[in-house]
C-alpha cells in the first residue's frame, strides 16, 4: 500500500495498514534542526506532500519570514518577529482606518503570476498524497488587515466596510481555489483560526451567517473537481464541527486537547477524518516520551482505528524524542 492509497482509504474510512503520517514544521525547525528533521523523515516518511509550485511575488513584500526583525507581506501588513523561526505578529495593519479601503488593492499579482506548471508532473512522480497548501484564510486576513480588536468591533456593529472588504477577499480566494481545482492534486487545504482555548472567537450564529457560506463555496468547487477538502483551525471549535462536515470538509486539523476529545470521537468518528493532532501547547514541548505515547493511545481509543491521520507539529521548543514518540505510538510502538 503506497502513501496515496493509504490516505485515500483513510478518507473513505477504510482499513489501512497504518495511519498515514503528516509532520508539520515551523520555520525555526527547518532553519535550526535540519539534520534532526531529515533523520525523522527518513525513519518515518510522511505520506502527505505538497506539489511543486510557485506563487508570484507581491509588490509590497519586504524582508523574510522567520528572521528576527520586521517583514512586510504581500498584503502590506507589517510583521514583527522577536525570535528566529517564528512567523511573528502583525504590528501595523494597513487598513486601521476605513478611509484607506478606497485605494487599497489586493495582491492579485501573487495569483495571476503563480507558476503551477510543475504541479501535475509532481503529482505523477510521487507516490505520496499530494495536498495543495493554499493561503485561503478570510477571518485571519481580516484581522491582519484591520487588527483583531477592530474586526471584532466591526462584526459586532455590522460595519458595512467590513463586509465590502470580506467580499473582496472572497473573490480573491475563490480565484485561488479555482486555480487548484484545475490541477491534478489529490486534495486542497485551507484554514482559519477560529477558537480560543474554550470557545469560538465569535458566536456560532454569527459564524454560520457570515463565514460558513464562504467556506461552502470553496468546498463545492473542490468537491465538484474531485478534490478532498482539508481544513485547519486552532482553538476550541467544537461548536462548528457539524457545520464543517455539512459543507463538505473531509478532514479537520484542530487542537483536540482543547476540546472534549472523547465527545468529539463519539459524535464525529466515521463522519470526518481527524487530521491529527497531539497537544503542542503542553505535551510535545514539556512532556516525556511516555506521556506523549499515552496521549496518542488516548486519541486512538477516542477516535478509533479508521479515519485518523497521525499528524503533529514540530516547533523549536519540542525535543526530537517526542516527535519520534508520536510516530512510534501510531505505528504500534
Query: Residue 78: inside a domain, yes or no?
Result: no
Which residue range forms the structural domain that includes residue 243?
3-59+95-330
Query: Residue 153: inside a domain, yes or no?
Result: yes
Contact 166, 217 (CB under 8 A): no
Contact 269, 305 (CB under 8 A): no
In the chain, % of residues over pLDDT 70 = 100
Report the number of distinct structural domains present in the chain: 1
- Confidence band, pLDDT 50/70/90 cuts, at residue 297: very high
CATH number for 174: 3.20.20.210
Query: Residue 160: inside a domain, yes or no?
Result: yes
Query: Residue 193: inside a domain, yes or no?
Result: yes
- Decide if pLDDT at 73 tops 90: yes
pTM reported for the whole predicted model = 0.96
- Decide if pLDDT at 85 tops 80: no
- Decide if pLDDT at 64 tops 90: no
Query: Residue 195: inside a domain, yes or no?
Result: yes
Examine residue 277 and say whether the peptide bond preceding it is cis (omega within 30 degrees of 0): yes
Give me the phi and psi of 162, to 5 degrees please.
-60, -40
**What CA–CA distance (Å, rounded) separates 55 from 95?**
24
Query: Residue 43: inside a domain, yes or no?
Result: yes
Nearest 5°: CA angle at 85, between 256 and 55?
85
pLDDT digits (tens, 9 = 90+) for 207-234: 999 999 999 999 999 999 999 999 999 9
CB-CB neighbours of 5 under 10 Å: 16
Amino acid at each position: 500500500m503506497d502513501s496515496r492509497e493509504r490516505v485515500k482509504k483513510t478518507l473513505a474510512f477504510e482499513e489501512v495498514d497504518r495511519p498515514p503520517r503528516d509532520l508539520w514544521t515551523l520555520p525555526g525547525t527547518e532553519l535550526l534542526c535540519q539534520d534532526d528533521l531529515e533523520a525523522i523523515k527518513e525513519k518515518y516518511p510522511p505520506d502527505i506532500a505538497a506539489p511543486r509550485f510557485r506563487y508570484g511575488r507581491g509588490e509590497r513584500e519586504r524582508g523574510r519570514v522567520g528572521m528576527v526583525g520586521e517583514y512586510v507581506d504581500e498584503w502590506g501588513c507589517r510583521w514583527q518577529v522577536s525570535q528566529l523561526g517564528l512567523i511573528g505578529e502583525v504590528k501595523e495593519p494597513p487598513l486601521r482606518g476605513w478611509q484607506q479601503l478606497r485605494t487599497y488593492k489586493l495582491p492579485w499579482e501573487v495569483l495571476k503570476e503563480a507558476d503551477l506548471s510543475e504541479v501535475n508532473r509532481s503529482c505523477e512522480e510521487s507516490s505520496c498524497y499530494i495536498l495543495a497548501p493554499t493561503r485561503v484564510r478570510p477571518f485571519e486576513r481580516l484581522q491582519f488587515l484591520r487588527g483583531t480588536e477592530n474586526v471584532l468591533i466591526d462584526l459586532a456593529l455590522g460595519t458595512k466596510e467590513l463586509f465590502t472588504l470580506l467580499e473582496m477577499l472572497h473573490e480573491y480566494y475563490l480565484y485561488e481555489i479555482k486555480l487548484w481545482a484545475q490541477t491534478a492534486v489529490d486534495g486542497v487545504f485551507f484554514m482559519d483560526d477560529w477558537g480560543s482555548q474554550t470557545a469560538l472567537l465569535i458566536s456560532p450564529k454569527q459564524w454560520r451567517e457570515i463565514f460558513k457560506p464562504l467556506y461552502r463555496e470553496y468546498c463545492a468547487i473542490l468537491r465538484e473537481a474531485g478534490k478532498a477538502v482539508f481544513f485547519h483551525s486552532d482553538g476550541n471549535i467544537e461548536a462548528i464541527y457539524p457545520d464543517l462536515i455539512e459543507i463538505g470538509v473531509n478532514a479537520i486539523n484542530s487542537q483536540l486537547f482543547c476540546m472534549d476529545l472523547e465527545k468529539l470521537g463519539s459524535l464525529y468518528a466515521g463522519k470526518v477524518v481527524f487530521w491529527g493532532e497531539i497537544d503542542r501547547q503542553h505535551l510535545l514541548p514539556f512532556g516525556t516520551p511516555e506521556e506523549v505515547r499515552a496521549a496518542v493511545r488516548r486519541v486512538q481509543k477516542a477516535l478509533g482505528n479508521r479515519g485518523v491521520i497521525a499528524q503533529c507539529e514540530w516547533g523549536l521548543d519540542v525535543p526530537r524524542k517526542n516527535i519520534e514518540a508520536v510516530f512510534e505510538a501510531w505505528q504500534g510502538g
